[in-house]
Amino acid sequence: MKALRFPPPTGRAYAAVRAGSVFLTLREEAEIVDYLDSVNRQIGPLGDFKDVDVEALRAACVLAISYQFAMRPIQMAAVRLSDVRLYQSGKNEPYAVHITFLKVKQRSSGKRLPMTRKIKREWCPIFARVHAIRVKNPALLSRKGSLTDSYLGLNPSQVSALIQEITSKIAGRLLSANQLRHTGAQRLVDAGATKEELAEFMGHSSYHTGLVYFDISPTQADRVNKALAISPIYSAVAEVARTRCIDKKALLKRPADQQIGGVPHGIPIAGIGACQLGQSLCQKNPVLACYTCAKFMPVRDDRIHRETIESLREIVKRFHATSRGEVQSPAFMQLRQTLSAAQELIGELDAFEDKPGDNLHG
């Protein structure tokens, strides 16, 4: 007896998935992460108030949930205060935040099943602060139509509108919750998730719903090429928000703290460019995070960046060999993004050689 085969879902929404028009660019994803990190820096590690607008805090929570967990607006609006749990290992230790969401659009008419998610550690202070505000003054963030004990104080339509509003400020264009959801799904599949893992992540009642993401996802070999920034298809999508490039002399005149250098995974790398913020103030990993950061001013020398790419490719090969093909980890995904962005920079530098009037390098 032949096994039944279920074709990937079809329709207008999935046609957009196949075309890639619903996905965020690497640049937009980096800008969202940078924004959430910047909001977090304005808050103490315990969620202490430091002149941060409460509306901005709520917007950051909504954006973080949508980006990290691909939740629908109706799921976010349904989160109650009791669904948000804060944990501390000690009195002055930072919080860990767990949130329980409900599955929606289930095929069965039974009770909606809960899904518990753990907020990224670096963003927990934002959620801890909003939780404290909601407990102390519930009316402060409550809008018309929201649940009386809502954590976010918003109804589904207001959640959708807030996502579009905040993303337009960050990325320069309106991004919907649906786009963030599709991007989250494809990001997980491209990293090597199974059909069952995707269904659990998305809250699908059947894994057949997410087959479209696997249908357009690269093969395992292509995933390695993607991580190595070899495939022209993948290296071409690495858009990075950069202000300008600088030459070597200008780099050497900058304060030592602004001259980027590091030893990622035991390989020393230096001279790739300058950091407008300063490495001592950066909460990310120098070199690995720089190529996707808006504060990065790359040096105008493609040879240096090519050498960096070759060094990082050795890390990827070693990582891939020792992990037996495991490519879901944040470390592996960061290497992939860094290499793609560095490859894109080299393309920009090559183009600049042909167009010396380009203001990117002013």
Q: What is the pLDDT of residues 142-167, one digit of tens each?
A: 999 999 899 999 999 999 999 999 99
Residue 6 in any domain: the answer is no
Separation between Cα atoms, residue 246 and residue 320, nearest integer Å: 34
47-96 pLDDT, tens digit per residue, is 565 567 889 999 999 999 999 999 999 999 999 999 999 998 887 788 89
Separation between Cα atoms, residue 296 and residue 333, nearest integer Å: 20
How many independent structural domains does the chain possess?
Answer: 2
94-142 pLDDT, tens digit per residue, is 889 999 999 986 555 456 789 999 999 889 999 999 999 889 888 888 9
Helices (H), ranges, the chain: 12-19, 26-41, 54-69, 73-77, 124-136, 156-171, 177-190, 195-202, 211-216, 220-228, 232-235, 248-253, 302-322, 330-354
> How far, rounded to the nearest angstrom, does the alpha carbon of residue 362 sit from its chain's CA centroid?
29
Same domain, 299 and 153: no
Unique residue bearing structure tokens 């001259």: 259
Among 308, 292, 295, residue whose Cα is nearest residue 246: 295
pLDDT above 90 for 315: no
pLDDT above 50 for 21: yes
Separation between Cα atoms, residue 274 and residue 298, nearest integer Å: 6
Residue 210 in any domain: the answer is no
Residue 84 in any domain: the answer is yes
Domain boundary pick from 177, 202, 235 = 177
Residue 11 in any domain: the answer is no
Same domain, 124 and 231: no
Non-local CB neighbours of 21 within 8 Å, separated by 6+ positions? none
Domain that includes residue 293, residue range: 222-361
Among 115, 99, 324, 120, residue whose Cα is nearest residue 199: 115
Cβ pair 194, 112 in contact under 8 A: no
Domain boundary pick from 119, 145, 177 = 177
Note the pLDDT of residue 110. 55
Same domain, 150 and 35: yes
Note the pLDDT of residue 320. 64
Among 254, 270, 274, residue whose Cα is nearest residue 262: 270
Average pLDDT rounded to a whole number, residues 11-28: 78
Same domain, 173 and 238: no
* 14-18, 33-37, 216-220 — most confident range: 33-37
Same domain, 26 and 134: yes
Same domain, 231 and 167: no
Same domain, 240 and 336: yes
Same domain, 173 and 230: no
> How far, rounded to the nearest angstrom, does the alpha carbon of residue 122 sit from its chain's CA centroid?
12
Separation between Cα atoms, residue 83 and residue 85, nearest integer Å: 6
Domain boundary pick from 110, 143, 177 = 177
Same domain, 226 and 172: no
Element (H, E) at 101: strand 96-102
**Tell me, what CATH number does 28's domain have?**
1.10.443.10
The rounded percent of the chain whose pLDDT value lies above 90 is 27
Tokens of 17: 């998935």
Same domain, 127 and 239: no
Residue 326 in any domain: the answer is yes
Same domain, 42 and 168: yes
Residue 217 in any domain: the answer is no
Residue 331 in any domain: the answer is yes
Same domain, 273 and 340: yes
Residue 157 in any domain: the answer is yes
